[in-house]
Structure 1
Amino acid sequence: MFNDTWIALAAFFGLLGVLFRQESLVIMSTVLLTVIAVAWLWNRYALRGVLYRRQLSERRAFVGEEVMLSIQVTNGKLLPVAWLKAEDELPTALPLIGDRLAPSHKETVGYLVNLYSLRWRERVTRRFRLSCAQRGFYALGPVRMQASDVFGLFSAAVVDEREDTLIVYPQVLPLEAWNLPPKDPFGNAKAEEPLFADPSRAVGVRDHQPYDGQKHIHWKASARQQRLQVKVYEPTTSPQWIIFLNVNTLPEPLQGSDPVLLEQIVSLAASVASFGVEQKYMVGLMANGSLPRSDQPLKVLPSRSPDHLMHMLEALAAVTAFSTSRMEQLLETESPKLPWGATLIVITGIVSDALLAALLELRAAGRKVALVAVGAEVDREQLRGIPAYTVSRRPLADVGMWQVQEVEAQA
């Protein structure tokens, strides 16, 4: 690589050539200084017009699927790029198929290293296959590009901070794979006679009555009719499930986390949510875990939006093992805010006396509750009619799933 010794050496040869009238030394000095000048200018403009782009075949995938990553590098100028090195940061949780990431100083990140030599206005595309081995909300990038001149004397580097996102959803399986009954798994799902109207679904207007609240007045219709009109809402009859996910996998949060158990309960929550949406239930999701860069508990309220399942799967893909509270505390805080007829489904890897007490208290108050425990024993005598299931952590070699034992399932 270049340093000041090169210029000093060229000047020395030039001076000797002039003093001793040696034409060859003068020519050597001139050539050396010319090479240095050309290399410096080449290096100065080497990265101008160079674009680095990633393209994913899918922005969302499930655990076990493959995603094609296309890397496109373009030299948009007339000056060729003699040597270019690109180090792109990729999560180690997305291993390359048939290739390997170079190690980095970050534990969860590796480098995808590519070398290029680009002619003028040339575009090169290389493709790699990513294995979605683990759920998560992944950022690809930034990329560091380093270029050199044709003589290798100078080098320049730039960091492109732009990132691309890949969301890997947790594994979703049918309830039969968990040995959960596919019909009415968490108690009587028959719609009861509605007591409340759904304010999100207006179906018409009618004349105002003295007992109608002001917030229900349809002002535009009132102006047209020249008398007060109120909105008429569609009654709520759809069963509602609220899934409570407990990310605590050890008795004390300060003891750490069991990552394998966490992945199992997240997958189970995703499976239950998917089943509920398929059955046209209104499904919500709450967890005492937080999203990355947040200290607030995860919360996705029930909705009829066509994208609602996707929102829940995205939340489950991103949820971490960082616990914001105990599950019994979350139930105590959030249950009063939820519709009275909703079924509260607790999915957990640990079952404590405090959690069972909270469930029994909710049941005694008239709330519908259910419990699914992964790898934890449930005391049959304490359930008192609460639908409950125990899912074994022991993998089954023939189906790659976990055995499930029904403890009790009665409304």
Structure 2
Amino acid sequence: MNITWLIFIVVVLIIAQGLFFRKTGLWKLGYQRYFQVTTCYEGDQVEMVERISNRKAIPVPWVRLESSLSANLKFARQQGHMIREGELFQNHRSFFSLMPYTQVIRRHKLTCARRGVYPLDSATLTVGDLFGIFTNYRRLSLKEQLIVYPKPLLPGREELPSHSWQGDVTVRRWIVSDPFMLAGVREYQYGDPQRDINWKATARSGKLQVNQHDFTADRRLMVLLNVQDHEKMWNQVSDVEMIERGISYAAGMIREAIHAGMEAGFASNGYAANGEKEPIRIAAAGGKGHYEYILDRMARMEIARSVPFDVLLEQEIRAASSNLDIVLITAYMNDKFYQLKEKLERAGNSVTVLSLAPSVRKVAANREDNDLRGGEHEDIGPKQDDAQISRAEVIL
């Protein structure tokens, strides 16, 4: 047999096997890709699982799986897959070789770098022959998503005005005695109201005794977040990290309030990523389900202005809200904000300003202290670097 026939036979065999594997490669080939959890917090590590199965008696020389994921899901470097990273998205590739009636499961560790909703809606499955000459592909539709909640944080004590949130427990100032809930009797102390005197207990003990009431949280927390990082901002935010920190503070305060048995709500002039650019407002309520609903809305929130923050404050005033502990999380304050703050206070609410900018925080605290004394306020600049005072610690 001369060399020409040998080359011809080899070429025919290569083409034959190529066409064969191209036709049978995708046949009875199953694929699943999903996250082990559907929700998590920013900074958590989650697991993405790939399961591919060959349910036929014919092997598959190689399979390549490709999908596009957000760049905020950081892969741990592992063998068997490649990642091409872009600014917003990354292309994830996995390679397999499947024998007959074989199933392969791979688990990938991802770190969630930022809150948001990350869909896993499609993947491309490509198969080929032994020499990689003939290929075939199929586009798969997936219906998976990962919701990453903001990491709940509480601001340090120095970031809150001095008159607010006093005590060892963050929500202690909201806890007031309930006259209808009796916890026992105790000896009279100076300042106890006369109506609380228990005359029967006094007669038995020979000393003046008063009823001791149990405590209940009758106030509600409402956190209002301003996504504008400066007064002249129109739509897009320039300091995204500062606003993200504000979202984490809002989540942390709401978590502490609800865990303490209080009702809590959330409002923002950002908007949910559902096509409707309407401000977010969730009325105060209690329970784990309500807290998870707030976290879900926070995860979906776009950091872009739907309405000016003063419009959001006016909406809160028109809602006739009262008996609320309102926290304004904002990067700046102006005279109009202070006027609306005073209207909220006159309606029976207590209002605390938590500024994300250190200089504004000191100005706000100084202004309020001077208002209590009837004096004027002056602009006081920051005494320490923003990176130092932006730390978060749980106040317990």
TM-score by length of 1: 0.71
Q: Which of residues 287, 292, 299 is equivalent to 2:281?
A: 299
* Partner of residue 109 from structure 1, selected from 72, 89, 92: 89
After TM superposition, give the deviation of residue 171 of structure 1 in Å.
Answer: 2.1
SS in 2 for 1:253: coil
Q: Kindly report which structure 2 residues correspond to 1:219-298, keeping only aligned pairs within 5 A, or say none.
A: 238-254=218-234, 256-294=237-275, 295-298=277-280
Deviation at 1:54, TM superposition (A): 2.5
In the TM superposition, what are the counterparts of 1:27-46 in structure 2 within 5 Å?
29=8, 32-33=11-12, 35-46=14-25
Distance 1:168 1:262 in 2: 16
Structure-1 separation of matches of 2:255 and 2:332: 23
Residue 394 of structure 1 aligns to which amino acid in structure 2? D
Q: Which deviates further from its counterpart, 312-321 or 281-290?
A: 312-321
Structure 1 SS opposite 2:97: strand
In the alignment, does 2:326 pair up with 1:344? yes
1:165 aligns with 2:172: no
- Residue 229 of structure 2 contacts residue 332 of structure 2 at CA under 8 Å; is this kept in 1? yes
Q: 1:128: Cα distance to partner? A: 2.0
For 1:361, what is the secondary structure of its paired residue?
A: helix
For 2:47, the aligned partner's letter is: M
Which residue in the other structure is 2:387 paired with? 395
Q: Do structure 1's residue 119 and structure 2's residue 86 form an aligned pair?
A: no
For residues 335 and 158 of structure 2, the distance between their equivalents in structure 1, rounded to whole angstroms, comes to 25
Structure 1's unaligned 5+ residue stretches are 1-21, 195-235, 405-411
Percent of pairs with identical residues: 21
Alignment of 1:17-96 (within 5 A): 29=8, 32-33=11-12, 35-96=14-75
Offset at residue 163 of structure 1 (A): 4.1
Residues 152 and 52 (structure 1), Cα distance of their counterparts in 2 relative to 1, 3 Å cut: same
Query: Are the equivalent residues in 2 in contact too, given 1:262–1:321 (CA < 8 A)?
Result: yes
Residue of structure 1 aligned with 2:312, choices 322, 330, 334: 330
CA distance in 2, matches of 1:247, 1:264: 11
Give the superposition deviation at 1:394: 2.2
Partner SS, residue 289 of structure 1: strand
Superposed CA offset, 1:357-385 (max 9, x none): 21122223444322211114134335746
For 1:169, the aligned partner's letter is Y
Aligned-partner residue type, residue 356 of structure 1: Y
Structure 1 distance, partners of 2:172, 2:63, is 63
Distance 1:311 1:345, change over 3 A: same
Q: Which amino acid aligns with 1:381?
A: R
Partner of 2:353: 371
- Matching residue of 1:145: 125
In 2, Cα distance between the equivalents of 1:275 and 1:64? 20
Provide the C-alpha distance between the structure 2 equivalents of 1:109 and 1:176, rounded to a whole number of angstroms.
34
Q: Is the 8 A contact 2:258 2:291 kept in 1?
A: yes
The aligned length equals 335
Residue type at the aligned position of 1:165: Q
Q: Which residue of structure 2 lines up, in the alignment, with residue 189 of structure 1? A: 174
Following TM superposition, by how much is the alpha carbon of 1:258 offset from its aligned partner in structure 2, in angstroms? 0.4
Q: Which of the pair has the greater relative contact order for Cα pairs under 8 Å at 6+ separation?
A: 2
Aligned to 2:367: 381
Whichever residue aligns with residue 98 of structure 1, its letter is: R
* 1:325 CA displacement: 0.8
Paired position in structure 1 for 2:183: none
Q: Which shifted more, 89-98 or 171-180?
A: 171-180
Kindly provide the amino acid, as one letter, of the partner of residue 386 in structure 2: R
CA distance in 2, matches of 1:177, 1:95: 33
Structure 2 Cα separation of the partners of residues 275 and 237 of structure 1? 13
Report what 1:17 is aligned to.
none
Paired AA for residue 269 in structure 1: A
Q: Provide the aligned C-alpha RMSD in A.
A: 3.5
For 1:335 and 1:187, the matched residues in 2 are separated by 26
| Cα distance, 1:124 vs structure 2 | 1.2
Q: Report the Cα distance in structure 1 between the residues aligned to 2:152 and 2:166, rounded to whole angstroms.
A: 14
